Amino acid sequence: MYNSKITGVGKYLPENIVTNADLEKIMETSDEWIQERTGIKERRHIVKGDGNSTSVMGIKAARIAIARAGLEPKEIDFILFATLSPDYYFPGSGVLVQEALDIPNCPAMDIRMQCSGFVYAVATADQFIKTGMYQNILVIGSEYHSGGLDMTTRGRNISVIFGDGAGAVVMSRTTNPSEGILSSHLYSQGKYAEELSLIGPNTGRWVPEIMALNDPEDISYYPYMNGQFVFKNAVVRFAEVIQEGLEKTGWNSEQIGLLIPHQANLRIAQFVQKKFRLREDQVYNNIQRYGNTTAASIPIALTEAWEEGKVTEGSKIVLAAFGSGFTWGSVMIQW
């Protein structure tokens, strides 16, 4: 019987810091509004021409994770790449990682589950390891949001929130059933697909068609979010799926070493913290510095927490996410 465990973590954030004060200069917003509603103080944005892209950031994070796992890239036998902002419409970004890391013929698969992408990817990798099919899997979450946001007052409810960055983990086989990924729980609800979405261009309406219309009202190529509706669903689903993980593992909330929620909004994380009566030191948040980096937010936070010595052998770690789809999920890890 095999189990999977995380053996290496890595992250990459672009150097360019965009503060709330910087945004005040280009749209009608305020540091006070952003901090009060979201907790965010600053985020990172790629500077066009700095050589970064979704896959490039993912590769940088991946190299660190692979080295920390004590492996060579060629020992990776599967790549999972979670993103909603791939380099190309197709193919996915995973194959670009495979080429850059020079791992011949290693299968690479993109996961399109938005904010829940990393949780879905970890759960998927876990299954491939448990069945014995693969031994070392590279899981990446990377997002380049800033190039596709409406940076005017019209898009402010979204554009102040999202940031760029990447995180990665290596998951490896263990024969110890009581360590590593103990359970994962995944859900989706397509009924609300359009409540948080980017619907144009799509296969029914390609770019030339949108451009030919030249309709200034058509902003379907920017992300749309029904913020309050998403918020209300998020707090319910986060709580449900964490509770399910606690029941499955038999842990109680006092035993949680660290809950690493997807960094969507500090208020959502605080709501969940209160719900499970968790202490400050049991929940990891870094949205203040990076904004919401969607599929990258959990691996960035996990890496940072690990680097700060907050994730150590024996820690009980809970990952949980909610986002566009709607999709949500949790992963329970005995580190």
Which CB atom, from 27 or from 100, has the smaller least distance to ligand UT7? Answer: 27
Residues with Cβ < 8 Å from 215, sequence gap 6 or more?
none
Q: 72-96: b or e for each residue (b if 16 or more CB lie within 10 Å)?
A: ebebbbbbbbbbbbbbeeeebbbbb
Which CB atom, from 12 or from 326, has the smaller least distance to ligand UT7? Answer: 326
Binding mask of the shown chain, residues 158 to 177, with x at each position contacting ligand UT7 by CB under 6 A: --x-----------------
Residues numbered 30 to 49 that lie near ligand UT7 (CB under 6 A) are 33-34, 37-38
Say whether residue 227 binds ligand UT7 (CB under 6 A).
yes
Which CB atom, from 201 or from 227, has the smaller least distance to ligand UT7? Answer: 227
Query: Which of the residues are catalytic?
Result: 115, 262, 292
The Cα–Cα gap between 259 and 249 comes to: 15
Say whether residue 268 binds ligand UT7 (CB under 6 A).
yes
Choose one: 6-14, 45-53, 222-230, 311-319; the region binding ligand UT7 (CB under 6 A).
Answer: 222-230
Say whether residue 300 binds ligand UT7 (CB under 6 A).
no
The CA-CA-CA angle for residues 223, 165, 310, to 5°, reads 125
Applying CB under 6 A, the site for ligand UT7 has a residue count of 19
The answer to whether 79 and 137 are in contact (CB under 8 A) is: yes
The Cα–Cα gap between 258 and 315 comes to: 8
Which CB atom, from 46 or from 160, has the smaller least distance to ligand UT7? Answer: 160
To the nearest whole angstrom, how small is the minimum distance from the Cβ of residue 123 to ligand UT7? Answer: 18
Q: Which amino acid is at 114?
A: Q
- The pair of three-digit structure tokens given for residue 24, joined into one six-digit string: 């005040």
Choose one: 2-10, 99-107, 152-160, 273-281; the region binding ligand UT7 (CB under 6 A).
Answer: 152-160
Residue 188 burial by Cβ neighbours in a 10 Å radius (0-12, 13-18, 19+): middle
Q: Which amino acid is at 46?
A: I
- Give contact residues for ligand UT7 (rule: CB under 6 A): 29, 33-34, 37-38, 115, 156-157, 160, 227-228, 230-231, 234, 264-265, 268, 292, 323
